[in-house]
Amino acid sequence: MLKKYFKIFILALILVVVTELIGQKKIKLGPGYLVFLPMLYALVIGIIISLPKLKIMSEDEMKLSNDIMGIVVILFVAKIGATRTFYCYVG
């Protein structure tokens, strides 16, 4: 069973490592900053590697990834909702 998830988990791990190495980038914009977080890079790179022309992932792996993402997004939103502290990058 874990064999079908293996490629997805390896790609996700590589994606996380690369985006965390890029890190957070800030651009001064008026009184505040425009902040680019690693999650944005992961989204863009994920879109690129899932293009059918590149053939990095099969249709079945993409469908399986979609199911996993549904669960992960629910957990992420629950974490945000449970967090009482709001971080503001203005200043």
pLDDT (tens digit, 9 = 90+) per residue, 22-74?
Answer: 999 999 999 989 999 998 999 899 889 888 888 888 888 888 888 888 898 89
CA angle (63 as vertex; 60, 66 as ends), nearest 5: 150
pLDDT band at 3 (very low <50, low <70, confident <90, very high): confident
Domain boundaries, the chain: 2-82
DSSP-derived 3-state class of residue 72:
helix
pLDDT band at 4 (very low <50, low <70, confident <90, very high): confident
pLDDT at residue 36, as a whole number: 92
pLDDT band at 84 (very low <50, low <70, confident <90, very high): low
pLDDT band at 1 (very low <50, low <70, confident <90, very high): low
pLDDT at residue 89, as a whole number: 53
